[in-house]
Amino acid sequence: MAVDHYENFPVASLLLPRRLRGPVTDIYRYARAADDIADEGNASDAQRLADLAAFRAELHRIGAEPGSMPAPSPALAPIFTPLAQTIARHQLPITPFFDLLSAFEQDVTVKQYEDYATLLDYCSRSANPVGRLMLHLYNAATPDNMEQADAICTGLQLVNFWQDVRVDWRKQRCYLPREDLLRHHVTDEDIAACRLTPAWRTLMAFQVARTRALLHSGAPLARRLPGRIGLELRLVVQGGLRILERIELCGYDVFMNRPELGVKDWAVMLWRSR
């Protein structure tokens, strides 16, 4: 399991009820396609934003005509026709889909965040909508559940950032808040040169501890939700926590040792998810 590029999204998982595998796949297809527009290939920023604007237009069409079949371009029909049906059939709110799109647009225009608050705002749109939509599918979208789902999803997003510092840097992107870099005396040159300094280790230890606390704050939701979805969520949380452990075990050298989970890690996660 890699908490990466929507891999933490439980797509058609055997732990999901059969009735929800199709809807989850429809949501994933939308999120993955929009994410790829923002992040993959060699398109210009202007072209990426134009392609995402086409997604926004289709969302507006779905929102304006609840329950209707949209008439997207042939290229977008495989994404938006089933998505419109899923939104109508399960009475899903449209706002989370717009929030995801807003985050993908931000990926094109923003390459670094000044402080933790602005990074959390980004996560509230890039990650949290996924958890909220899952709760709606399970008819469990209470305020308390959504608050804890937000903590889990933001925590998983941050785990992804900390394990992918080098990958993101090569894309001219850095999710380590500027204020944290300054406070811990880590420079852009240090990151570019993959310098494993005491200051870097202190910075990453701070990020790992803060992210672990977020995941723990949301973890009670995974015990409260019944059946297979509860187990699914416990595994996802334990996956994030295990990657944080691996970051610590490699001495915070995410430059040369990108943390990934293997068979032994899965055994640990399953044990902890009981």
Which amino acid makes up residue 46?
A
CA atoms of 240 and 157, how far apart (whole Å):
9
Instruction: Summarize pLDDT for 70-109 with one digit per residue, the tens.
Output: 556 788 999 999 999 999 999 999 999 999 999 999 999 9
Check residue 252 and give left, alpha or beta (phi > 0: left; psi -120 to 50: alpha): left
CA atoms of 104 and 91, how far apart (whole Å):
24
For the residues 212-222, what does the mean pLDDT come to? 97
Instruction: Summarize pLDDT for 152-189 with one digit per residue, the tens.
Output: 999 999 999 999 999 999 999 999 999 999 999 999 99
State the pLDDT at residue 272: 87
Any residues with CB less than 8 A from the CB of 39 and at least 6 apart, and which? Answer: 104, 107, 171
Q: Predicted confidence band at 65 (pLDDT cuts at 50, 70, 90)?
A: low
Q: What is the pTM of this model?
A: 0.90
Q: Predicted confidence band at 58 (pLDDT cuts at 50, 70, 90)?
A: very high
Dmax of the chain from CA atoms?
58
Higher pLDDT, 209 or 261: 209
Q: Among the CATH numbers 1.10.1760.20, 1.10.1200.10, 1.10.600.10, 3.40.50.1220, which is that of 110-273?
A: 1.10.600.10
For residue 177, give both structure tokens.
Answer: 């808040």
Any residues with CB less than 8 A from the CB of 271 and at least 6 apart, and which? Answer: none
Domain boundaries, the chain: 14-92, 110-273
In the chain, % of residues over pLDDT 70: 92
**9 pLDDT above the threshold of 70:** no
Q: What angle do CA 35, 239, 122 make, to 5 degrees?
A: 35
